[in-house]
Structure 1
Amino acid sequence: MILVAGIPSEPPLQEALDALSDQRADVVVLSQRRCAEIDLAFAVDSAGAVDGVLRIGRRHIALREITGVYARLMDHRNVPEYQRLDVGDPERERWAALNDTLSAWVDVAPGTIVNRSSAMASNAAKPYQGQLIARHGLLTPETLLTNDPQVAREFYASRPRVVFKSASGARSIVQTMEPGDLGRLGTLRACPVQFQTWVPGTDVRVHVVGSEVFATAITTTATDYRYATAQVEEPARLEPHDLADDVAQRCVALTADLGLEFAGIDLKITPDGEVYCFEVNPSPAYTYFSGQTKQPIPEALARHLLAA
């Protein structure tokens, strides 16, 4: 039995559900928008065995029957049904407790878990993740993480092009630093920012599902290809990319080393063939890529979940 948890209408979950349906898999869907109908309780015995019960509506499922999980969980505080609850409503506490329990169970459950909560934590600190990336022979850009305006000013002045972005797991738009940004550096004192030397070359997103690798080359003049239309008024062009075998093997090894079953790895390959890695996304919105390239990423995800 496969459990798919999150917001089922979100494209990555919907594509995975469609692929699992094509495989005639036994699937249980846990919608975070229907927490009022859900209960979850589990325990870990002295031997480390995990068991418990999941209730969804009138259905009760023994957790030991679940062999695979695809969890793409939203912060429950952002779920519309939660936000509509009055501030003092005790149901809010129940929602919070349920989501905490779900996250904890995902972290210790047996079987194929895409992805465990603890394994996803490295993405919350990009500099730390960069150290893990470097262990696998992938280059990382020269990086400065600071809340000191003068240090940032000196970094910018000594390099031909600098980009900046969030140092945490929070989504941010990567932008090129311009002279006009110097006047805003005082705001760094309230929140450190990550600055990096810009790397020329071709952006390549690599999706790793178990041992399967799907690489996509992105062509755009935008600093952040995800926001190409806003930055350069033209969408990025995505095409399947023939990734060198040794680079593909490093991506698989990096994914496994991070404890992930599924990852989206952002590379840039320079004109000289050097391979830089910017980050590893532990919950990739892969449908942006598979939708344009027709790469069978959801099918690979379904196969991986069912292989347990």
Structure 2
Amino acid sequence: MILILSARNDASVEMVVPELVERGAEFLWWDPGGYPADSTISSRLTGGSWRHTLRVEGREYDCSQFTTIWNRHPTHPHAPESVTDDNHRKYVEKIAAILLHGWEHTVESRWLPARTSDIVRTQNKLVNLGVAAALGFTTPDTLVTNDDEDLIPFWEDAGGELIAKVVEYVEFRIDGEDHSHYTTPVTRRRLTDRHRLALAPAILQPYVKKAVELRITVVGDQVFPAEIHSQGSRATRYDYRHYEQTFSTYAIHRLPDDVERRCLELTASLGLHYGCIDMIVTPEGEYVYLEINPAGQWGWIEATTGLPIAAAIADWLIAAEPHR
């Protein structure tokens, strides 16, 4: 049986579910965000190993029966509505998160892409950039710092063509509005605000000119590369995500064999069975690695290019099912 851990409104899961149904797979779609509000977990150490029982929506599941777990996009644990005190809610949800962390690490199963702690570790850009460089990918010269005195010489070394990125995407709100940080050019005028760097570290890299950008989705031993034609508009020149569905066009890309091999080596070296790799192809045809997102989105790539990513995920999930 397959266990899918994700929010109930996850469009990517909705794309894979019909593939699983077509293949006759048995699966449970459960969001751990419903724990402990409307689900329970009982764990008993017996015979030298843990036995976990999940009860959700009136049904009971022996977790040892889950051959594969798709750790897609689960939400954070939520306390029952009856817990109204804020401090009490924080306590209940913190304890629930600790239990789920232990539950993940004591459920023996195949995980796609990996357990949550491994996802957090591998999506850290310092980690995956270092591994990519060691595997032979071309990577930009990179400075990660919160020391503004390091900024100016690095900016000068880049000839004033420098971009800044966040170390990790973190949700935040200003005056009640959601905000996101995108890749931003560090202009001479922005240098006057460099003291703000002390508040949080940033990733700094020389700007890499782009012919096209690539979104390379790896599922098991399959590689699905897509081109993102982001340079046709100033709005998407530095970061296509800002207006990705408005100005960019997409196409299937043919990777050189050595680049495809490194993509597979990278996910394997990081202990992942899935990942979305972002790369740049320069006007000279050089492939430059940027990052890997071990839980990255792929639905929009399949919708725009027809690459059969949902089918590949379904095939990976059912590979260990007994009838296979």
TM-score, length-scaled by structure 2: 0.84
1:279 corresponds to 2:291: yes
1:204 equivalenced with 2:205 (yes/no): no
Runs of 4+ in 1 over 4 A off after TM superposition: 43-47, 81-85, 89-92
Aligned to 1:226: 241
1:173 and 2:182 matched: yes
In the alignment, what sits opposite 1:62? 62
Contact 2:123 2:294 (8 Å CA) reproduced: no
The structural deviation recorded for 1:45 is 6.6
Asked if structure 2 preserves the Cα contact closer than 8 Å seen for 1:19 and 1:302, the reply is yes
Q: Identify if the C-alpha distance between structure 1 residues 124 and 300 changes in structure 2 by more than 3 Å, giving closer, same or farther.
A: closer
State the partner residue of 1:100. Answer: 98
Aligned amino acid, residue 167 of structure 2: A
1:23 aligns with 2:35: no
Q: Please show how residues 217-296 of structure 1 align to structure 2 within 5 Å.
A: 217-221=227-231, 222-228=237-243, 234-296=246-308
Instruction: Return the letter of the residue paired with 1:66.
Output: F
Instruction: Indicate the larger mover: 91-100 or 34-43.
Output: 91-100
SS of residue in 1 equivalent to 2:116: coil
Q: Partners in 2 of 1:72 and 1:85 — Cα distance?
A: 28
Cα deviation digits, residues 145-199 of structure 1 (max 9, x gap): 1112221122112313111111235473111222221122111111111110111
Whole-angstrom CA distance in 1 between matches of 2:163 and 2:108: 41
1:200 positional shift: 1.6
1:122 aligned residue = 121
Over residues 77-106 of structure 1, what are the superposed CA-to-partner deviations in whole Å (9 max), with x where a residue is unaligned?
7x7x87996334756544443343334333
**In structure 1, what is the Cα distance between the partners aligned to 2:244 and 2:261?**
33
- Rate the CA distance shift 1:228–1:25 in 2: closer, same or farther, 3 A: same
Whether the 8 Å contact between 2:31 and 2:74 is mirrored in structure 1 is no
CA distance in 1, matches of 2:191, 2:164: 12
Query: Per the alignment, do residues 85 and 111 of structure 1 end up closer, same or farther by CA in structure 2, a change over 3 Å counting?
Result: same
List runs of 5+ in structure 1 lacking aligned partners.
Answer: none
CA distance in 2, matches of 1:206, 1:286: 9
Q: 1:179 to 1:228 in 2, by over 3 A?
A: farther
Q: Deviations over 1:99-132 (max 9, x none)?
A: 4333433344323211222321334531232111
1:52 CA drift (Å): 1.2
The answer to whether the 8 Å contact 2:278/2:290 transfers is: yes
Q: C-alpha separation between the residues in 2 aligned to 1:183 and 1:207?
A: 39
Whole-angstrom distance in 1 between the partners of 2:147 and 2:158: 17
Name the residue aligned to 1:111: 109
Instruction: Give the superposition deviation at 1:296.
Output: 1.0
Q: CA–CA distance in 2 between the matches of 1:215 and 1:252?
A: 12
Q: Counterpart of 1:76 in 2: which secondary structure?
A: coil
Q: Per the alignment, do residues 44 and 127 of structure 1 end up closer, same or farther by CA in structure 2, a change over 3 Å counting?
A: farther
- Matching residue within 299, 302, 307 for 2:314: 302
Q: Following the alignment from structure 1 to structure 2, what is the Cα–Cα distance between the partners of residues 277 and 52? A: 41
> How many residue pairs get matched?
302
Q: Which amino acid is the alignment partner of residue 307 of structure 2?
A: Q
CA RMSD of aligned residues (A): 2.5
Distance 1:260 1:172, change over 3 A: farther
Q: Does 1:190 align with 2:195?
A: no
Indicate the residue corresponding to 2:131 in structure 1.
132
* Partner residue in 2 for 1:86: 84
**Gaps in structure 2 of 5+ consecutive residues:** 171-179, 232-236
Q: Residue type of the partner of 1:86?
A: T
